[in-house]
Amino acid sequence: MIGLGTVGVGVVRLLEQERHLALKKIAVRDLKKERGVALPCELTASVPEIIEDPEIEIVIEVMGGEQPALDFIRRAIERRKHVVTANKELLAKHGPELFALARDNGVAIFFEASVAGGIPLISTIHKGLEANRISAVIGILNGTTNFILSRMEEEGESYQSALARAQKLGFAEADPTNDVDGHDVAYKLSILSALAHGRFVRPESIYRQGIRKVSAADIAQAREFGYRVKLVGMTCLADPDSAGGALSVRVHPMLVPLSHPLAAVSGSNNGILVRGHAVGEITMVGPGAGQMPTASAVVGDAINLASALALPDFASYFQPEIDPTWAATAEPGDFRCPFYLNLSVSDVPGVIGQIGTIFGNHDISIQSIIQRGVQDRGASVIILTQAVLDSNMASALAELQQRDFLLEIVNAMRIFQPEAIHAP
Amino acid sequence: MIGLGTVGVGVVRLLEQERHLALKKIAVRDLKKERGVALPCELTASVPEIIEDPEIEIVIEVMGGEQPALDFIRRAIERRKHVVTANKELLAKHGPELFALARDNGVAIFFEASVAGGIPLISTIHKGLEANRISAVIGILNGTTNFILSRMEEEGESYQSALARAQKLGFAEADPTNDVDGHDVAYKLSILSALAHGRFVRPESIYRQGIRKVSAADIAQAREFGYRVKLVGMTCLADPDSAGGALSVRVHPMLVPLSHPLAAVSGSNNGILVRGHAVGEITMVGPGAGQMPTASAVVGDAINLASALALPDFASYFQPEIDPTWAATAEPGDFRCPFYLNLSVSDVPGVIGQIGTIFGNHDISIQSIIQRGVQDRGASVIILTQAVLDSNMASALAELQQRDFLLEIVNAMRIFQPEAIHAP
């Protein structure tokens, strides 16, 4: 094993009870650090000592980060070690290369822990739903932001206050950028794309919007309409009948209908919906992070790998088929869904009419519009639209912003409407 | 394939698109019946023609029922065919024998479709959660009753009216006994016990209570307290630290907290929670029945089996280890959970005090008690208790029934409190 941080210690704990699998060596940076767990084997400060050991068949990588993990895994694969990794950043950025290298060397990369922590997503898609063409994977893939949004709804807290709470409880890091701006979800979507659609997606080509702008007022307003605000990530075939075609890969806050299983994903849990042409929709909910859930995924992979070692040439059976090229991505503007808008406008006659006209010009049908209590500065207008093209909404909002009556676009959030993406 | 009913036709449809797998023969009772699907191979009225064909490697059984399916599968296994089956009744009643026979003959039985339709539960537990000791599997395992209970809540319908609606829509059979009295769930619990705990449970030793007594009034009342009524099946280690020990296996209506993922399982969907010592709780939601979801599971099994055929002696790797003896079951009275009670009592002074005394004598703590509008006959008393032993509740209710003030125990339902069963 390379690395002995939180997850590594969890792996050591779980393997204590395992009879058929043993750690031979663990590489760490600091040999003297207290680990809080009985060590089952010798520590080493030298990763090559592990990679070059001919007795070692499986390398577990739980150090995280891009480098030097990338070099270590490349060399392990070249030495024909099977790899178990929890490293989402590494796979999202270098998946095509690593899976091609693994195939050439006849070894397997198992990566259940890299997405959605303890939720056994990869075995589900790769084995359980084998008979399906998967058209979409849609989920709440970041526990930190889900915790923050849940707090904001349940306690009426501000984003800042809920973030501070998450930091205090250890759910969020001091610099929360990676979570709250959607980078973490983008990495996971790249991996899920490989799993569901056979190709990784460059993280930088994923349309990404975080939760910093979501307010407790928007959450309360959404709730009144029967929705809950969630940070939703998705990777969908742009054309559901065209496997191998472009993917629509995005992460942004969405209003999820309260009746949908994803709305019930609370606190730091993750939830993932998989849509297959035969099965319809399957949703899985569980801990998306944390020491033991993540270790559960790592050790599960290791056990499955170890018990398969007796089978000759098994890697091709276990490894999802992943193309060594990056996926093409659809234009973000081509995405269709309804919108929730919170506008602050001057309280002058005819505003609603003007808004309606602008929207009409951009092919946007309004489903409901509510003008709320006139304040000092003007009035608040809340609009729910029918499903519209993202690009049309963007141009309508740009036009709105030219108008004198518009004080501020307080928020514009998409509404999760599964049937608008594409039906099962 | 043996059988070409609804699921069989779904299997034919899915296999149309499959390049690596072909049906060679389908056994049917009536060779002349119109099947509404293009047939990919010859039909035969003779099952032995399939079982004795040396070219056929996998037998798919979708005929259902106990006999003659049992004889067919026995013979197929003896001829060293691998088996894919959707037959829950068969496995629940004869699982120990069939799995022992399969092991002796070096073949595998795949049975994903036998529980929870399209939800890939078996790959999840057997592979995805391999590193976990599973202490409990708890779920909404019957779509018909969940549809009825959902209708009763959403429309305020009576049980009879919701049942009639389900029958009209094809979700319930003319004789609904199998669904509404929990037999179907009991079969599934036997199979889930084998999967999660390594032993089948005799269906007749499963504590079983159906939904016939649930009223729209109880559902509305539960809702006010923050619960939704669901038919919940569970198979749990009676002692969470004692794998191999007795199992607590039960199905009955329960009040599920609205915040719990199982409460969000609506309509004819199924939902299953799996608790593992490392991962905590994973919940899966999806279609528990229906032609294509069930076919998705059958064909998924067939593809996984077929692609493994190239691996020598693979059956032991793929087959969950199942003991050939039946599981011991815990005393139903030893189960602990809070209760919801709806009592009809005479409107005489001191009734609440007397109820409190009786409950106290049986070690039952009351959490809340509400006396509702006095009617002609008397008053309605709604009680929520703390977690209590089933046996204590039974004796308290028996004592209550001796008292003159008690007109009727309108309903007594258990409350789903995961932490009372045992914590992760």
Residue B374: the pLDDT is 67
Contact B128 A129 (CB under 8 A): no
Contact B131 A286 (CB under 8 A): no
Contact A285 B287 (CB under 8 A): no
**Chain A residues with CB inside 8 Å of B297's CB?**
131, 279
Cα B383 to Cα B210, B340, B365, distances in angstroms: 21, 6, 10
Q: From the candidates A88, A188, A213, A230, which is the catalytic residue?
A: A188
Residues 6+ apart with CB under 8 A from B348: B405
| pLDDT at residue A67 tops 90 | yes
Contact B127 A127 (CB under 8 A): yes
Residue B84: the pLDDT is 97
Q: Which residue of B has its CA nearest to A118?
A: B279
Domain A332-417, CATH among 3.40.50.300, 2.40.160.10, 3.50.50.60, 3.30.70.260: 3.30.70.260
Assign 3-class secondary structure to chain A.
CECCCHHHHHHHHHHHCCCCCCCCEEECCCCCCCCCCCCCCEEECCHHHHHCCCCCCEEEECCCCCCCHHHHHHHHHHCCCEEEECCHHHHHHHHHHHHHHHHHHCCCEECHHHCCCCCCHHHHHHHHCCCCCEEEEEEECCHHHHHHHHHHHHHCCCHHHHHHHHHHCCCCCCCCHHHHCCHHHHHHHHHHHHHHHCCCCCHHHCEECCCCCCCHHHHHHHHHCCEEEEEEEEEEECCCCCCCCCEEEEEEEEEEECCCHHHHCCCCEEEEEEEECCCEEEEEEEECCCHHHHHHHHHHHHHHHHHHCCCCCCHHHHCCCCCCCCCCECCHHHCEECEEEEEEECCCCCHHHHHHHHHHHCCCCEEEEEEECCCCCCEEEEEEECCEEHHHHHHHHHHHHHCCCEEEEEEEEEECCHHHHCCC
| pLDDT at residue A424 tops 60 | no
pLDDT in tens, A35-57: 889 999 999 999 999 999 999 99
Q: Where are the domains of chain B?
A: 6-119+292-318, 132-288, 332-421
pLDDT range class, residue A423, cuts 50, 70, 90: very low
Rounded Cα distance, B405 and A2, in Å? 71
CATH code assigned to B6-119+292-318: 3.40.50.720
Q: How many CB atoms lie within 10 A of CB B53?
A: 15
Residue A19: the pLDDT is 81
Q: Which residues of chain B fall short of a pLDDT of 70?
A: 316-317, 373-375, 377, 420-424
Q: What is the pTM of this model?
A: 0.91
How many residues in chain B?
A: 424
Residue B158: the pLDDT is 96
Q: Is A332-417 the same fold as A126-287?
A: no
Residue A421: the pLDDT is 67
Rounded Cα distance, B163 and B158, in Å? 8
Cα A176 to Cα A147, A210, A237, A404, B258, distances in angstroms: 13, 11, 30, 36, 31
| pLDDT at residue A304 tops 60 | yes
> How close, in Å, is residue A343 to chain B by CA atoms?
32
pLDDT in tens, A333-353: 999 999 999 999 998 888 999
Residue B150: the pLDDT is 95
């009225």: which residue's tokens? Answer: B45
Contact A303 B259 (CB under 8 A): no
Fold annotation for B132-288: Dihydrodipicolinate Reductase; domain 2 (3.30.360)
Fold annotation for A126-287: Dihydrodipicolinate Reductase; domain 2 (3.30.360)
CB of B185 closer than 8 Å to CB of B141 = yes
Residue B423: the pLDDT is 45
> How close, in Å, is residue B371 to chain A by CA atoms?
30
> How close, in Å, is residue B284 to chain A by CA atoms?
4
Rounded Cα distance, A112 and A106, in Å? 19
Domain at B332-421: CATH architecture: 2-Layer Sandwich (3.30)
pLDDT range class, residue A124, cuts 50, 70, 90: confident
Which of B280, B281, B317 is the closest to A307 by Cβ? B317
Is the backbone peptide bond immediately before B68 cis, with ω within 30 degrees of 0? yes
pLDDT range class, residue A84, cuts 50, 70, 90: very high
